[in-house]
Amino acid sequence: MTVLVFDDAGAASRAAADKIQAVVKEAVGQRGRAVLGLATGATPEKVYGYLVRLHTLGELSFHDVITYNLDEYYPIQPLDPKSYRSYMYRHLFSKVDLQPQRTHLLDGTVPEPFVDEHCAEYERWIAEDGGLDLQLLGIGRNGHIGFNEPSDRSVEEALALRTRIMELHPVTRADAAREFGSVEGVIPRALTMGIATILGAREILLLATGAHKAEAVKLGLTGPVTAKLPASLLQSVAPRVTWMLDQAAASDLDRTADTP
Ligand code: PGA
């Protein structure tokens, strides 16, 4: 896997935005459209800020971009400010020329008996759009990617996981308490792309910033491949994965990483 370490979160986010811009231009040039897998949370906010800036400067158009987000709380209404649909609208969709019908998120309003079918349908849409050109990822303190939480599954089973409904891990709930006001207030379930869905992307860009991510980053990059630390499963598609880190998130790594 390629590991790039930047001075601070701003520089890492800027590099992630530049990478997304390059992927969009190349895919649109080659196939007439680009398919991006997007992430939410605190980490990518700056990335979206830079993408909006590139758009405002006339250097990046989203006209031919199709987006699929990683995950969404369940159940949740799209207009709830804590929904990831709202997050994406606030940080990106309302500020660039993305066509609304080309922005996809898992639907937190699907009645429970139809959740499995909705998740299967999401997989079909991605496949019909030609697969993801690039998947942007964050990493949880417990090593989750999307809401693929640590588990006791075998590596083989974990690598086969598709889009589905999940219970949030206690660490994830604790971290989400920021937005929900308390741990008890956190919506305890979510819909998430699976590990197999994520690993199917032609390129994967994991962005991690802050010292609180250092341990998960170290384990994901250099620890054993295990479903107990879902980000470690990225090692199975290593040539397609780039980690962009700030100094703090890289602080547990030895200094063999590439510094741009
Ligand atoms: P964060 O979440 O960006 O809010 O730290 C990352 C993640 O849980 O994937």
pTM over 0.85: yes
Q: 198, 146 in Cβ contact below 8 A?
A: yes
Residue 258 has pLDDT above 70, yes or no: no
Residues 95-106: tens digit of each pLDDT: 999 999 999 999
Query: Tokens 């209404």 correspond to what residue?
Result: 77
Ligand 1 atom closest to the CA of 41, numbered from 1: 4
Pairing verdict, β 189-192 and 71-74:
antiparallel
Residue 257 pLDDT class (50, 70, 90 cuts): low
Find out whether the peptide bond into 170 is cis, omega within 30 degrees of 0: no
Q: Which residue among the candidates 55, 71, 133, 246 is catalytic per the annotation?
A: 71
pLDDT value at position 122? 98
Q: Which atom of ligand 1 is nearest to the CA of 137?
A: 9
| Residue 254 scores a pLDDT above 90 | no
Residue 128 burial (CB count, 10 A): 8
Residue 260 predicted with pLDDT over 70: no
- Probe target for ligand 1 pocket from 13, 148, 175, with the most ligand atoms within 8 Å of CB: 175
Closest CA to 119 of 38, 20, 194: 194
